[in-house]
Structure 1
């Protein structure tokens, strides 16, 4: 349904949103320092020179809050479009076809000198353009586990994904099994 770039951009955005602390659920801050941010960037395979400074972490935390809005507005097409357009402007997106490493030509919305916070803003915004155009905002979901504040993007064929990647599905299955056995 969506290109690799769109899937990767939105999956990494959901993962970034899910690094935020949540007092209600007891989730701790998963990006407490630059080392954790560097690990996140490497895990998602972001390419090019990526200078990470202490002040960059605060900017990434701010972008994370903006990205959360994509999920909070998912039922509101006009609100989502406004947010996506603001993200594209704020990140000063200048789409360019690029080829690097072993990748075929694909679209980047930045140059190599762009700070990671702006990249984290630009990539999901460009991915959301595809989601809005496909009338697929219902693919952006909050985790169905009652004790989780996580978000997810459902790329399954039958649109059946309900849980984030934090083990919520397993936790609920174990609880249901134990309840049946009791």
Structure 2
């Protein structure tokens, strides 16, 4: 494990949410929000309505910029994100999760909590100088983000679909060489 479990979870959630912007029909309504919450079960207030889904959609471009920013700019964006909400940091544990930090009240809007949890996770990324673990997919036809949490820094594609497409293309290119 490179980062703590809560940092990795927040980074995975942010990348997943940002990558939904690749499909114009994703995060279109409360049903799509359910898929997000199924994969990343946030605690606290969850309205499960179209307004909340819309606020998550609106959050995606800013999250993308923050996740892909160079280290110093990332720090500025994290500071801006943290300054944009009222913070109420406290240690908590719930479910099967041991003690971890919640930096915002549980009844804050979900989009604010996603923003703050992403910012808090990026603090660890910045401090460890590991920003290169977040990148754009190596597939030329894809703009999705890739989160590489592997030990050997080998993840280049956002999904097995993109990885397989490029493996097949490379195979075909080798087969067609004289």
TM-score for both structures, normalised by structure 1: 0.88
Pairs within 5 Å for 1:1-182 = 1-21=2-22, 27-73=23-69, 76-165=70-159, 167-182=161-176
- In structure 1, stretches of 5+ residues that fail to align are 22-26
Q: Is the Cα–Cα contact under 8 Å of residues 17 and 64 in structure 1 kept in the other structure?
A: yes
Instruction: Give the secondary structure class of the aligned counterpart of 1:91.
Output: coil
Q: Distance in 2 between matches of 1:138 and 1:60?
A: 25
Q: Distance in 1 between matches of 2:160 and 2:106?
A: 32
Q: Distance in 1 between matches of 2:117 and 2:124?
A: 11
Aligned residues: 175
Q: Distance in 2 between matches of 1:45 and 1:56?
A: 15
Q: CA deviation at 1:48?
A: 3.2
- In structure 2, stretches of 5+ residues that fail to align are none
Q: Is the Cα–Cα contact under 8 Å of residues 91 and 119 in structure 1 kept in the other structure?
A: no
Q: Distance in 2 between matches of 1:166 and 1:57?
A: 27
Q: Distance in 2 between matches of 1:136 and 1:93?
A: 25
Instruction: Give the secondary structure class of the aligned counterpart of 1:99.
Output: strand
Q: Distance in 1 between matches of 2:67 and 2:100?
A: 26
Q: CA deviation at 1:166?
A: 5.7
Residues 29 and 91 from structure 1, CA distance in 2 versus in 1: closer, same or farther, beyond 3 angstroms?
farther
Partner of 1:24: none
Q: Distance in 2 between matches of 1:19 and 1:72?
A: 16
Q: Is the Cα–Cα contact under 8 Å of residues 87 and 105 in structure 2 kept in the other structure?
A: no
